[in-house]
Amino acid sequence: MFLMLLRRILLASLLAAAPALAEVSVTDARVRALLPGADKTVGYFEITNSGTTAISLVGARSAAARAIELHTTIDENGMLRMRRLEREAVPAGATVRFEPGGRHLMIFGIETLGEDLEIELLRATGAPVRVHFARIPIGAR
């Protein structure tokens, strides 16, 4: 009994001491091509927190865009509206999806959009997470 407890404590302290390198991973990052004449678009991705503490996304930025906001989509009496999110929590062990009809990145002030767009996802604590968003056709999800 005591040994089991001791082992558990040792394991817990090992986990706590482990470097937090690979705790956040982003997959399926994509940005929608610009409509003719438009300078804003949306970005989607999945973020997985394999660490042991929650992380909090508080924004995003890109050298190729004037501003990027975290948005969500809400249904107000059948009208879909976008609302800005100040932050989005990703609990330990969880995956949060930014996807069509839900959360998304709102990307403003793009001059040209190439094959991909490099975006840094900003966390409340910790280094920015640098992600390559691949351009997808206007009608794609």
Give the binding-site size for Cu ion (rule: CB under 5 A).
Answer: 3
How far is CA 24 from each of CA 14, 15, 42, 79, rounded to the nearest angstrom? 19, 15, 22, 34
Q: Check if the beta carbon of residue 39 is closer than 8 Å to that of residue 141.
A: no
Q: Is 85 in the site for Cu ion (CB under 5 A)?
A: no
Q: Is 32 in the site for Cu ion (CB under 5 A)?
A: no
Sequence-distant contacts of 15-21: CB under 8 A, at least 24 apart = 15/52, 16/52, 20/51, 20/126
64 versus 106: smaller Cβ distance to Cu ion: 106
User: Which span sits near Cu ion by CB under 5 A: 3-11, 65-73, 114-122, 125-133?
Assistant: 65-73
User: Which span sits near Cu ion by CB under 5 A: 6-14, 26-34, 63-71, 127-135?
Assistant: 63-71
> Beta-carbon neighbour count of residue 104 at 10 Å?
22
Rounded least distance, CB 105 to Cu ion, Å: 8
Residue nearest Cu ion (C-beta atom): 71
Q: Is 82 in the site for Cu ion (CB under 5 A)?
A: yes
